[in-house]
Structure 1
Amino acid sequence: MITKSARPTGTGAPGYAQTLPRTPEAAGRARLLVSTALSAWDKEELGYAGSQIVSELVNNAVNHTRSSAIQVVISRDFNGVRIGVVDRSQDTPKVRYPDENAESGRGLLLVAALSAAWGYERKQWGKVVWAELAGEGK
Structure 2
Amino acid sequence: MPQPTARARPTGHPGYSETLPRLPESAATARRLVRVALAVWDLDDLAEDGALIVSELVSNAVQHARRGSIRIVVDRPEAVRVRIGVVDFSKARPVRGEPVLEGESGRGLALVGELAEAWGTEPLPWGKQVWAELRGGESG
Question: Could you tell me the TM-score, scaled by structure 2's length?
Answer: 0.91
Contact 2:122 2:128 in 1 (8 A): yes
Partner of 2:85: 84
Q: Which runs of 4+ in 1 moved over 2 A?
A: 9-13, 98-103
Taking the aligned partners of 1:111 and 1:13, their CA distance within structure 2 comes to 24
Q: Which runs of 5+ in 1 are unaligned?
A: none
Partner of 2:96: 95
Moved more, 60-69 or 106-115: 60-69
> Where does 1:41-60 land on structure 2 (aligned, <5 Å)?
41-60=41-60
Taking the aligned partners of 1:50 and 1:99, their CA distance within structure 2 comes to 24
Write the deviation string for residues 44-75 of structure 1: whole angstroms up to 9, x where unpaired. Answer: 10011000000000010001112210000001
Q: Is residue 18 of structure 1 aligned with residue 18 of structure 2?
A: yes
Contact 1:2 1:29 in 2 (8 A): no
Partner of 2:34: 34
Which amino acid in structure 1 is aligned with residue 27 of structure 2? A
Write the deviation string for residues 64-104 of structure 1: whole angstroms up to 9, x where unpaired. Answer: 11221000000102250000000010110000112433431
Contact 2:100 2:106 in 1 (8 A): no
Taking the aligned partners of 2:108 and 2:36, their CA distance within structure 1 comes to 23
RMSD between superposed Cα atoms in Å = 1.4
Taking the aligned partners of 2:44 and 2:35, their CA distance within structure 1 comes to 7
Residue identity (%)? 52
Taking the aligned partners of 2:41 and 2:2, their CA distance within structure 1 comes to 18
Residue 11 of structure 1 and its aligned partner are, at CA, apart by: 5.2
Question: Could you tell me the TM-score, scaled by structure 1's length?
Answer: 0.92
Residue 2 of structure 1 and its aligned partner are, at CA, apart by: 4.3
Residue 13 of structure 1 and its aligned partner are, at CA, apart by: 3.7
Q: Is residue 127 of structure 1 aligned with residue 128 of structure 2?
A: yes
Partner of 1:105: 106
